[in-house]
Amino acid sequence: MHDMLAGFVLYPPTMLKTTRRRLLAGLPAFGLFSAHAEDSKPLENILFGSCLDTHEHPMLDRTLSLPRDLFLFMGDNIYADQGGIPMMQEKYARLKNSRFFRGLKNKPILATWDDHDFGLNDGGSEYPQKKEAQVEFWNWLDEPANSPHRQQEGVYQAKTFGPSGKRVRIILLDTRYFRSPLMKVSKEKAMLGGSSIPTEDETTTILGAAQWTWLEKVLQEPAELRIIVSSIQFAPEAHGGECWANFPHEQKRLLTMLRGQKALVLSGDRHWSEFSKNSVFDFTSSSMTQKHPRGTPTPNKHRLVPKTYHLPNVGLLNIDWTAQAITTQIFGEAPEAQIELRVPFTDLVV
Ligand SMILES: [Fe+2]
Protein backbone atom coordinates (compact mmCIF):
# COMPACT_ATOMS: atom_id res chain seq x y z
CA MET A 1 0.00 0.00 0.00
CA HIS A 2 2.78 2.40 0.88
CA ASP A 3 4.60 1.98 -2.38
CA MET A 4 1.40 3.00 -4.07
CA LEU A 5 1.26 6.08 -1.87
CA ALA A 6 4.82 7.12 -2.55
CA GLY A 7 5.11 10.79 -3.34
CA PHE A 8 6.66 13.86 -1.81
CA VAL A 9 6.85 13.36 1.91
CA LEU A 10 8.78 15.41 4.46
CA TYR A 11 11.19 13.02 6.12
CA PRO A 12 13.64 13.77 8.94
CA PRO A 13 17.28 14.29 7.80
CA THR A 14 18.37 10.93 9.27
CA MET A 15 15.84 9.12 7.10
CA LEU A 16 16.98 10.99 3.98
CA LYS A 17 20.61 10.08 4.72
CA THR A 18 19.64 6.42 5.05
CA THR A 19 17.70 6.62 1.78
CA ARG A 20 20.71 8.16 0.02
CA ARG A 21 22.98 5.42 1.38
CA ARG A 22 20.56 2.76 0.16
CA LEU A 23 20.34 4.32 -3.30
CA LEU A 24 24.13 4.54 -3.57
CA ALA A 25 24.32 0.90 -2.59
CA GLY A 26 21.84 0.09 -5.35
CA LEU A 27 19.09 -0.84 -2.88
CA PRO A 28 15.46 0.28 -3.16
CA ALA A 29 14.89 3.47 -1.16
CA PHE A 30 12.06 1.92 0.93
CA GLY A 31 9.80 2.75 -2.01
CA LEU A 32 9.83 6.40 -0.94
CA PHE A 33 10.68 7.81 -4.33
CA SER A 34 9.97 4.71 -6.38
CA ALA A 35 6.79 6.18 -7.81
CA HIS A 36 4.13 3.59 -8.54
CA ALA A 37 2.34 4.10 -11.86
CA GLU A 38 -0.72 5.38 -9.95
CA ASP A 39 1.23 8.25 -8.43
CA SER A 40 1.48 10.15 -11.67
CA LYS A 41 -2.24 9.88 -12.37
CA PRO A 42 -4.14 13.02 -11.39
CA LEU A 43 -6.34 12.52 -8.34
CA GLU A 44 -9.99 12.84 -9.32
CA ASN A 45 -12.24 11.23 -6.72
CA ILE A 46 -11.55 11.45 -3.01
CA LEU A 47 -13.94 9.82 -0.57
CA PHE A 48 -13.90 11.14 2.99
CA GLY A 49 -15.68 9.78 6.05
CA SER A 50 -15.60 9.68 9.83
CA CYS A 51 -17.15 8.26 13.00
CA LEU A 52 -17.50 4.50 12.39
CA ASP A 53 -19.03 2.88 15.47
CA THR A 54 -19.49 -0.39 13.59
CA HIS A 55 -17.71 -1.90 10.61
CA GLU A 56 -20.70 -3.70 9.08
CA HIS A 57 -23.23 -1.20 7.78
CA PRO A 58 -25.14 -0.65 4.48
CA MET A 59 -23.52 2.81 4.24
CA LEU A 60 -20.09 1.18 4.14
CA ASP A 61 -21.15 -1.07 1.26
CA ARG A 62 -22.62 1.98 -0.47
CA THR A 63 -19.28 3.75 0.01
CA LEU A 64 -17.44 0.96 -1.80
CA SER A 65 -19.75 1.49 -4.80
CA LEU A 66 -18.76 5.17 -5.21
CA PRO A 67 -15.87 6.35 -7.42
CA ARG A 68 -12.60 6.47 -5.46
CA ASP A 69 -8.92 7.14 -6.07
CA LEU A 70 -8.25 7.70 -2.37
CA PHE A 71 -10.13 7.13 0.89
CA LEU A 72 -9.66 9.42 3.88
CA PHE A 73 -10.47 8.22 7.39
CA MET A 74 -10.97 11.52 9.23
CA GLY A 75 -11.17 10.25 12.80
CA ASP A 76 -13.34 8.23 15.20
CA ASN A 77 -12.43 5.40 12.85
CA ILE A 78 -13.12 3.11 15.81
CA TYR A 79 -14.76 3.90 19.15
CA ALA A 80 -12.28 2.74 21.79
CA ASP A 81 -12.17 5.33 24.57
CA GLN A 82 -13.52 3.07 27.30
CA GLY A 83 -11.44 -0.10 27.40
CA GLY A 84 -7.83 1.06 27.11
CA ILE A 85 -5.32 -0.39 24.65
CA PRO A 86 -6.78 -3.95 24.60
CA MET A 87 -10.10 -2.57 23.36
CA MET A 88 -8.29 -0.46 20.80
CA GLN A 89 -6.47 -3.54 19.48
CA GLU A 90 -9.69 -5.51 19.31
CA LYS A 91 -11.61 -2.77 17.47
CA TYR A 92 -8.79 -2.12 15.00
CA ALA A 93 -8.60 -5.86 14.28
CA ARG A 94 -12.34 -5.88 13.61
CA LEU A 95 -12.08 -2.88 11.28
CA LYS A 96 -9.07 -4.34 9.50
CA ASN A 97 -10.86 -7.64 8.87
CA SER A 98 -14.11 -5.99 7.78
CA ARG A 99 -15.46 -6.29 4.24
CA PHE A 100 -15.34 -2.51 4.09
CA PHE A 101 -11.65 -2.09 4.92
CA ARG A 102 -10.62 -5.01 2.73
CA GLY A 103 -12.68 -3.48 -0.07
CA LEU A 104 -10.83 -0.16 0.26
CA LYS A 105 -7.38 -1.64 0.04
CA ASN A 106 -7.11 -1.73 -3.76
CA LYS A 107 -6.61 2.06 -3.65
CA PRO A 108 -4.65 4.37 -1.33
CA ILE A 109 -5.97 5.00 2.17
CA LEU A 110 -4.89 7.82 4.47
CA ALA A 111 -6.06 8.41 8.02
CA THR A 112 -5.93 10.62 11.04
CA TRP A 113 -7.68 10.20 14.38
CA ASP A 114 -10.16 12.02 16.58
CA ASP A 115 -10.90 11.59 20.28
CA HIS A 116 -12.62 8.18 20.26
CA ASP A 117 -9.77 6.44 18.45
CA PHE A 118 -7.12 8.57 20.18
CA GLY A 119 -8.48 6.95 23.34
CA LEU A 120 -10.10 9.69 25.44
CA ASN A 121 -13.47 11.36 24.87
CA ASP A 122 -12.80 15.06 24.03
CA GLY A 123 -9.17 14.22 24.93
CA GLY A 124 -5.93 16.03 24.17
CA SER A 125 -2.29 16.16 25.27
CA GLU A 126 -3.19 15.06 28.79
CA TYR A 127 -4.08 11.50 27.69
CA PRO A 128 -1.46 9.28 29.38
CA GLN A 129 -1.60 6.43 26.82
CA LYS A 130 -1.23 8.53 23.67
CA LYS A 131 2.12 6.93 22.75
CA GLU A 132 0.64 3.43 22.98
CA ALA A 133 -2.45 4.56 21.06
CA GLN A 134 -0.21 5.88 18.27
CA VAL A 135 1.49 2.47 17.96
CA GLU A 136 -1.94 0.83 17.53
CA PHE A 137 -2.98 3.44 14.95
CA TRP A 138 0.06 2.72 12.75
CA ASN A 139 -0.28 -1.04 13.29
CA TRP A 140 -3.82 -0.82 11.92
CA LEU A 141 -2.51 0.89 8.78
CA ASP A 142 0.47 -1.52 8.41
CA GLU A 143 2.87 1.40 8.61
CA PRO A 144 6.36 -0.13 8.15
CA ALA A 145 8.44 -0.61 11.31
CA ASN A 146 11.10 1.81 9.99
CA SER A 147 8.60 4.51 8.95
CA PRO A 148 9.46 7.99 10.22
CA HIS A 149 5.79 8.35 11.15
CA ARG A 150 6.39 5.86 13.92
CA GLN A 151 9.26 7.92 15.28
CA GLN A 152 7.41 11.22 15.46
CA GLU A 153 4.94 12.18 18.19
CA GLY A 154 1.47 12.60 16.69
CA VAL A 155 -0.06 11.06 13.56
CA TYR A 156 0.12 14.09 11.24
CA GLN A 157 1.38 13.43 7.71
CA ALA A 158 1.27 14.78 4.14
CA LYS A 159 1.34 13.15 0.72
CA THR A 160 1.26 14.53 -2.80
CA PHE A 161 -0.60 12.82 -5.62
CA GLY A 162 -0.53 13.57 -9.34
CA PRO A 163 1.89 15.01 -11.91
CA SER A 164 3.23 18.55 -11.99
CA GLY A 165 0.40 20.89 -12.96
CA LYS A 166 -2.16 18.59 -11.28
CA ARG A 167 -0.61 17.97 -7.88
CA VAL A 168 -2.87 17.55 -4.87
CA ARG A 169 -1.22 17.75 -1.49
CA ILE A 170 -3.17 15.92 1.20
CA ILE A 171 -2.27 17.23 4.65
CA LEU A 172 -3.65 15.26 7.57
CA LEU A 173 -3.51 17.06 10.91
CA ASP A 174 -3.40 15.59 14.40
CA THR A 175 -5.80 17.68 16.49
CA ARG A 176 -5.41 15.46 19.58
CA TYR A 177 -1.86 14.61 20.58
CA PHE A 178 -0.82 18.15 21.54
CA ARG A 179 -4.16 19.85 22.18
CA SER A 180 -4.48 21.97 25.31
CA PRO A 181 -7.45 21.35 27.64
CA LEU A 182 -10.75 22.82 26.46
CA MET A 183 -12.22 25.82 28.22
CA LYS A 184 -15.58 24.79 29.65
CA VAL A 185 -18.57 26.53 31.18
CA SER A 186 -21.21 25.05 33.51
CA LYS A 187 -23.96 22.91 32.01
CA GLU A 188 -26.49 25.74 32.60
CA LYS A 189 -24.44 28.04 30.38
CA ALA A 190 -23.71 25.42 27.72
CA MET A 191 -24.64 25.95 24.06
CA LEU A 192 -26.59 23.42 21.97
CA GLY A 193 -23.40 21.60 20.97
CA GLY A 194 -21.89 21.36 24.47
CA SER A 195 -20.10 23.33 27.18
CA SER A 196 -16.80 24.27 25.44
CA ILE A 197 -16.18 27.95 24.72
CA PRO A 198 -13.48 29.90 22.87
CA THR A 199 -10.38 30.71 24.91
CA GLU A 200 -8.43 33.97 24.81
CA ASP A 201 -5.33 32.30 26.22
CA GLU A 202 -2.89 32.36 23.32
CA THR A 203 -0.49 29.98 25.06
CA THR A 204 -2.99 27.16 24.38
CA THR A 205 -2.73 25.10 21.21
CA ILE A 206 -4.45 22.57 18.95
CA LEU A 207 -1.47 21.46 16.86
CA GLY A 208 1.49 22.03 19.18
CA ALA A 209 4.87 23.59 18.26
CA ALA A 210 6.42 20.64 16.37
CA GLN A 211 3.36 20.12 14.16
CA TRP A 212 3.11 23.85 13.39
CA THR A 213 6.77 23.91 12.30
CA TRP A 214 6.18 20.87 10.10
CA LEU A 215 2.99 22.35 8.63
CA GLU A 216 4.68 25.59 7.71
CA LYS A 217 7.29 23.66 5.69
CA VAL A 218 4.71 21.36 4.12
CA LEU A 219 2.64 24.32 2.91
CA GLN A 220 5.67 25.73 1.10
CA GLU A 221 6.01 22.61 -1.04
CA PRO A 222 4.63 22.92 -4.57
CA ALA A 223 1.07 21.77 -5.25
CA GLU A 224 -1.83 22.98 -7.36
CA LEU A 225 -4.37 22.17 -4.64
CA ARG A 226 -4.01 21.60 -0.88
CA ILE A 227 -6.50 19.55 1.10
CA ILE A 228 -6.28 19.89 4.86
CA VAL A 229 -7.87 17.03 6.80
CA SER A 230 -8.89 18.08 10.30
CA SER A 231 -10.90 15.70 12.49
CA ILE A 232 -12.71 18.67 14.08
CA GLN A 233 -14.45 21.40 12.08
CA PHE A 234 -12.39 24.39 11.03
CA ALA A 235 -14.81 26.99 9.63
CA PRO A 236 -18.05 26.89 11.68
CA GLU A 237 -18.65 29.32 14.52
CA ALA A 238 -18.22 28.05 18.08
CA HIS A 239 -21.10 25.77 19.02
CA GLY A 240 -20.16 24.30 22.39
CA GLY A 241 -18.58 21.18 20.90
CA GLU A 242 -15.05 20.75 19.62
CA CYS A 243 -13.93 23.03 16.79
CA TRP A 244 -11.09 25.33 15.78
CA ALA A 245 -13.23 28.31 16.81
CA ASN A 246 -12.54 27.31 20.44
CA PHE A 247 -8.90 28.31 19.79
CA PRO A 248 -9.32 31.49 17.67
CA HIS A 249 -5.58 32.27 17.67
CA GLU A 250 -4.82 28.83 16.21
CA GLN A 251 -7.59 29.21 13.62
CA LYS A 252 -6.15 32.59 12.60
CA ARG A 253 -2.64 31.15 12.41
CA LEU A 254 -3.67 28.46 9.93
CA LEU A 255 -5.63 30.94 7.82
CA THR A 256 -2.59 33.21 7.66
CA MET A 257 -0.44 30.28 6.52
CA LEU A 258 -2.96 29.35 3.82
CA ARG A 259 -3.38 32.88 2.49
CA GLY A 260 -2.98 33.04 -1.30
CA GLN A 261 -3.05 29.25 -1.69
CA LYS A 262 -5.71 27.09 -3.31
CA ALA A 263 -6.81 25.07 -0.30
CA LEU A 264 -9.83 23.55 1.40
CA VAL A 265 -10.58 21.69 4.62
CA LEU A 266 -12.29 18.33 5.08
CA SER A 267 -13.63 17.53 8.57
CA GLY A 268 -15.83 15.11 10.52
CA ASP A 269 -16.77 14.62 14.19
CA ARG A 270 -20.26 16.15 14.32
CA HIS A 271 -22.47 13.18 13.32
CA TRP A 272 -23.99 15.34 10.62
CA SER A 273 -22.76 16.80 7.36
CA GLU A 274 -22.62 20.43 6.36
CA PHE A 275 -20.65 22.80 4.10
CA SER A 276 -19.17 25.98 5.57
CA LYS A 277 -16.85 28.77 4.52
CA ASN A 278 -14.89 31.05 6.80
CA SER A 279 -12.17 32.38 4.45
CA VAL A 280 -11.58 28.70 3.55
CA PHE A 281 -14.14 26.08 2.54
CA ASP A 282 -14.78 23.35 5.13
CA PHE A 283 -16.71 20.29 3.98
CA THR A 284 -17.87 18.18 6.94
CA SER A 285 -18.93 14.54 6.54
CA SER A 286 -20.00 12.56 9.62
CA SER A 287 -20.99 9.87 10.64
CA MET A 288 -20.58 6.91 8.29
CA THR A 289 -22.61 4.54 10.45
CA GLN A 290 -24.62 6.57 12.97
CA LYS A 291 -27.82 8.54 12.87
CA HIS A 292 -27.55 11.91 14.59
CA PRO A 293 -30.08 11.60 17.43
CA ARG A 294 -31.17 15.27 17.57
CA GLY A 295 -31.49 15.57 13.81
CA THR A 296 -30.92 19.34 13.78
CA PRO A 297 -27.59 21.17 13.53
CA THR A 298 -26.14 23.84 15.80
CA PRO A 299 -26.32 27.44 14.51
CA ASN A 300 -23.51 28.24 12.06
CA LYS A 301 -23.32 31.63 10.37
CA HIS A 302 -20.62 30.24 8.08
CA ARG A 303 -22.86 27.49 6.66
CA LEU A 304 -22.88 27.79 2.86
CA VAL A 305 -25.65 25.41 1.89
CA PRO A 306 -28.77 25.51 4.07
CA LYS A 307 -29.24 21.74 3.98
CA THR A 308 -27.49 19.59 6.56
CA TYR A 309 -27.67 15.79 6.59
CA HIS A 310 -28.02 13.71 9.76
CA LEU A 311 -28.12 10.09 8.58
CA PRO A 312 -25.12 7.82 7.81
CA ASN A 313 -23.10 9.37 4.98
CA VAL A 314 -19.80 9.80 3.19
CA GLY A 315 -18.32 12.72 1.27
CA LEU A 316 -17.09 12.63 -2.33
CA LEU A 317 -14.78 15.35 -3.58
CA ASN A 318 -14.40 15.31 -7.35
CA ILE A 319 -11.66 17.31 -9.00
CA ASP A 320 -12.42 18.29 -12.60
CA TRP A 321 -9.00 19.23 -13.97
CA THR A 322 -10.42 20.19 -17.37
CA ALA A 323 -13.08 22.55 -16.04
CA GLN A 324 -10.75 23.63 -13.18
CA ALA A 325 -13.46 23.10 -10.54
CA ILE A 326 -14.25 20.81 -7.63
CA THR A 327 -17.63 19.30 -6.79
CA THR A 328 -18.25 18.10 -3.26
CA GLN A 329 -21.18 15.81 -2.55
CA ILE A 330 -22.56 14.11 0.53
CA PHE A 331 -24.03 10.68 -0.13
CA GLY A 332 -26.31 8.69 2.16
CA GLU A 333 -27.63 5.24 1.31
CA ALA A 334 -29.92 6.64 -1.44
CA PRO A 335 -28.54 7.03 -4.99
CA GLU A 336 -28.78 10.84 -5.20
CA ALA A 337 -26.46 13.30 -3.47
CA GLN A 338 -27.89 14.87 -0.29
CA ILE A 339 -25.75 18.02 -0.35
CA GLU A 340 -23.77 19.23 -3.35
CA LEU A 341 -21.61 22.23 -4.17
CA ARG A 342 -19.44 23.04 -7.17
CA VAL A 343 -16.61 25.50 -6.67
CA PRO A 344 -14.22 26.78 -9.36
CA PHE A 345 -10.52 26.51 -8.45
CA THR A 346 -10.27 30.31 -8.47
CA ASP A 347 -12.71 30.52 -5.53
CA LEU A 348 -10.57 28.13 -3.48
CA VAL A 349 -7.84 30.73 -3.02
CA VAL A 350 -7.77 31.58 0.69
FE1 LIG B 1 -17.68 10.59 16.44
Domains and CATH numbers, the chain: 13-18+34-348 (3.60.21.70)
Cα–ligand 1 centroid distance for 29 (angstroms): 38
DSSP, collapsed to helix, strand or coil, labels residue 79 as coil
Ligand 1: distance of its center to the CA of 231 in Å?
A: 9
The larger pLDDT score, comparing residue 242 to residue 2, is at 242
Q: Cα(53) to centroid of ligand 1, in Å?
A: 8
Does residue 84 surpass a pLDDT of 50? Answer: yes
80 has pLDDT over 50:
yes
Q: How far is the CA of 324 from the centre of ligand 1 (A)?
A: 33
| Cα-to-centroid distance, 170 and ligand 1 (Å) | 22
The CA 271 to ligand 1 mean position distance, Å, reads 6
- Which among 86, 155, 82 has a CA at the least distance from the CA of 114? 155
113-170 per-position pLDDT tens digit: 999 999 999 999 999 999 999 999 999 999 999 999 999 999 999 999 999 999 999 9
Distance 82 CA to ligand 1 centre (A): 14
Residue 198 has pLDDT above 50, yes or no: yes
Instruction: Check residue 315 and give its pLDDT.
Output: 99
Residue predicted with more confidence, 335 or 33: 335
CA–CA gap between residue 193 and residue 291 (Å, rounded): 16
What is the DSSP pairing of strand 183-184 with strand 168-172?
Answer: unpaired
Q: How far is the CA of 112 from the centre of ligand 1 (A)?
A: 13
Mean pLDDT value of segment 194-223:
97
- Tell me, in angstroms, the distance from the centre of ligand 1 to residue 51's CA: 4
DSSP helix/strand/coil, 287: coil
pLDDT digits (tens, 9 = 90+) for 5-37: 333 344 444 444 444 443 343 333 343 333 343
Q: How far is the CA of 59 from the centre of ligand 1 (A)?
A: 16
- Mean of the per-residue pLDDT values of the chain: 91
Give the mean pLDDT of 52-81.
98
Q: Kindly give the distance from the C-alpha atom of residue 132 to the centroid of ligand 1, in angstroms, as a whole number.
A: 21
pLDDT value at position 79? Answer: 98
Q: What is the pLDDT of residue 197?
A: 97
Q: What is the pLDDT of residue 266?
A: 99
Whether the bond between 195 and the residue before it is cis, its omega within 30 degrees of 0, is: no
Q: What average pLDDT does the segment 259-267 reach?
A: 98
The 10 Å CB-count burial string (b at 16+, else e) for 83-94 is eeeeebbebbee
pTM above 0.85, yes or no: yes
Residue 268 CA to ligand 1 centre (angstroms): 8
pLDDT the model gives residue 39: 58
Q: In what order do the strands lie in the sheet with 45-49?
A: 109-111, 70-73, 45-49, 314-320, 325-331, 337-344
Give residue 160 CA to ligand 1 midpoint distance, Å: 27
- Whether the pLDDT of residue 285 is over 60: the answer is yes
Instruction: Please determine, for residue 53, whether its predicted confidence score (pLDDT) is greater than 80.
Output: yes
Flag whether pLDDT at 42 surpasses 70: yes
The Å distance, Cα 17 to ligand 1 centre, comes to: 40
In percent, the amount of the chain with pLDDT more than 90 equals: 89
Average pLDDT over residues 271-284: 98
How far, in Å, is the centroid of ligand 1 from the Cα of 174?
15
Q: Cα of 72 to ligand 1 centre, how many Å?
A: 15
Please determine, for residue 256, whether its predicted confidence score (pLDDT) is greater than 60.
yes
Residues within 5 A (CB) of ion ligand 1: 51, 76
How sure is the predictor about 40, in pLDDT bands with cuts at 50, 70 and 90? confident
CA of residue 262 to ligand 1 center, whole Å:
28
The proportion of the chain whose per-residue pLDDT surpasses 70, expressed as a percent, equals: 89
